[in-house]
Structure 1
Amino acid sequence: MKDLQLVLAEPCLEQWNDMKQTDDGRYCDRCEKTILDLTDKSDAELLRFFKNKQENVCGRLLSTQLNRKLVQPSSDLRWHWLMPLAMGAAIITPAQAQNLKPLIVNADKMAASAPVSVDSVAKTSVVRDTLNGMVVDNFTGKPLTGVKVRQKHFENVLAITDSTGRFEIGTTNKDIAAPFIFELDGYSAVETSLNDNIIVKLTTVITIRLGGVSTVALDKKPLLVVYAGKDSCTIDVSRMKEIPPEWIEKLEVLKDAKAAVAVYGSKAAYGVIIIEIKEAHAKKFDFSQKN
């Protein structure tokens, strides 16, 4: 018997719950195809399903059904071929605390692989759930589109945030404690476990150009100044976690090196980031703890 491995290559931005219910599954307006729900299928059932499919098929799968060999009793189907999958529509998602969400995949042509002898059918978990979440900019609180979500130690993308920054993922109880990675160009990657309705905050990799001459990254420690009305203080970057995005009224970067040093002293040699806190939240921040 040859083995079949399902791999997600091109996730889709459509959310499963937003698709139209049909007799056979759900209809995706973006792909203009009916998506079959395969999340309750065993390994043997998946093998039989794809064995009889010669055309592309879009299906919804659990993340635990991906990136591993599907197996069945060696007395069953003696395959001389294997189906590789060109995954073309996946629901994105991070999964933390208890479950990973079903993905939409597109099965394509077949490819051979070395024979494998398997004496027992792999057991699959029946505990399933769908987790939803959102990814936002840590400073502005704005939703981030196109954030890739994958399970740590795996390269395949399991979810991508949509235009509202939201994602969803189907999971089983086997993946409850698995860490997930959130990645977007221009932002520092975040590793975290997941729970339903989680909000993940990504921080931009800030590059400051001083006087139009040199470029200084965050590891050069620009001075951070926080103020609200007449209250102000300088803080270490570690205290940024004390300022939720919704508190921020305005964020400015002082680019002129000479002007920065003239106002804030030598500590501003690598630039100044000025953060204004909204009046409604001013009393919630401790301005007495100066860096």
Structure 2
Amino acid sequence: MNPVMITIPEPCHENWNNMTPVEQGRYCDVCSKEVKDFTAMNDEQMQSYLNKTTDKVCGHFKASQINRELITAPRENGLFKHLWKLLLPVFFFAPKAFAQKTLPQNLQGKDSVVDYTHKRLVLGMVVKGIGIIPQEKGIKIITGKVIQKGSGDAISWVDIRIDDSVFCRTDVEGRFTLKIAKDKLNGTIKIGAVGYVSQELKVKKIIEKEGQQIEIQLELAMSGGISLVNPAVKKTNQQVVKKEMSVVKEKYTVLNDKVKIYPNPVANGNTCSLQFNEVDKGEYTAILTNIDGRAVQQTTFTVPDKNYVFHLDLNKEVSAGAYLLRIMNKDGKLFYNGKIVLE
């Protein structure tokens, strides 16, 4: 069997304990499908099962079972089988000192079993041809986690690109798996998420840590409108002595508690609802911006009552990812800002 790797690009958020037990795993009422339990299988059993099935598989895995090459025992050929039978008498008549060798004290009376404890489990779809990744020659596979600088909290839906082509996104636990081809070894990895300062890393620097869990820290971006104040110029004898440029934050109140967005995440090209509670009537503008701050959609609408639900049709040409949704009031002041995820 060819070596394979199991990855879960988009882990399922449903609770395993809330599912209905069935013969080979559990049944998810939300997804209306059976979830196969792989946690008791070894590498060879998993690979054998996945190679035999022709359908898509939804599975329950230990964290240690994914994002690595599955290890399978080499097949025993016929000649070795017969040689083994001839060698058996040699072992039976070997000097008994061979069997009486004293074991270290800490191993005496113990079975030869290594016990591994796995506290974190992963639930998600394994799609044949996508979820199972054959090991390609010359491909570097990097795994890691993106966290918030200072707090250490995991950041989900972080976009990770290499020269705007190779792309992956962190899961709900901030983890990612990135495949790097030979022609990208001199490239630059760009990491960005809404509300965070983007970061760039050289591929070569990351490759040096291949085989290790890479931790990337992103810093929270400064929130608030920015305005430029005219330079203060002081002159002496008609010569410019000093020029000062001041950047100040515009003061405003962000009424996050007066607007609710649902569903969030929302399917790409669908409609999301903006629920306004106890707000001023009038005209509002919703602006959807990407991680680079570029507006990808802008919609102006009227709120006729202080309690109102507006259904925002999302542009189907906007790609999946995390975005910042800003709502401006009729005076052009920021009324709401928040994160929205398109799937």
Query: Above 0.5 in TM-score?
Result: no
- TM-score, normalising length: structure 1: 0.37
Rg larger in structure: 2
Higher strand share: 2
